[in-house]
Amino acid sequence: MKMSIIIIAVAVTTLSCGESKKERAQRDSAAADRWTVLEYQRQDNIQRQKDRDQQTIDTGAKVLDIITR
């Protein structure tokens, strides 16, 4: 009898330590939000690099034009 009470107490304690559905949904939503922000940052970094590359090409073309005059 005493052993079964201990087992039930341990089971209740273990179950109460788990996260609720609401907490899990909030955690999953926060993770999705973080992923979205990181993806936007990645896309922004790619676009900035393309812009820098284009600016370098334009500058090189101007320099070449000046040299060949």
DSSP 8-state assignment for residue 34: H
Q: What Å distances lie between residue 69 and 6, 40, 59, 61, 62, CA to CA?
A: 93, 44, 16, 12, 11
Q: Residue 69: what pLDDT?
A: 80
d(CA 50, CA 22): 42
Low-confidence ranges of the chain (pLDDT < 70): 1-2, 5, 7-18
DSSP string, 8-23: HHHHHHHHHHSPPHHH
d(CA 9, CA 56): 70
Q: Residue 15: what pLDDT?
A: 55
